[in-house]
């Protein structure tokens, strides 16, 4: 898993911390935690969809002219 695979987690934590910061440091911490958990679900959903897409893909024969 590379950094791109964690995009939803990182983005969720960032947004959650930003929104939570309105409520102070504790809010920022809680917001980051909740945002990261939502992001993990998003990442897993994308991963599952990508895996299914690869499994359902058919190879296209390449012919040289």
What's the predicted TM-score (pTM) here? 0.63
Angstrom CA distances, 45 to 33, 50, 64, stand at: 19, 9, 38
Determine phi and psi for 30, rounding to 5 degrees. Answer: -65, -45
Domain definitions of the chain by residue range:
3-53
61 secondary structure, DSSP code: P
Flag whether pLDDT at 5 surpasses 70: no
Residue range 10-37, pLDDT digits in tens: 888 888 888 888 888 888 888 889 988 8
């Amino acid at each position: 898993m590379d950094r791109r695979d964690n995009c939803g987690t990182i983005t969720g934590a960032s947004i959650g911390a930003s929104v939570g910061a309105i409520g102070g440091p504790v809010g920022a911490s809680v917001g980051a935690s909740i945002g990261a958990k939502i992001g993990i679900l998003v990442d897993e959903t994308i991963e599952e969809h990508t895996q299914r897409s690869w499994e359902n893909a058919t190879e296209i024969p390449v012919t040289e002219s």
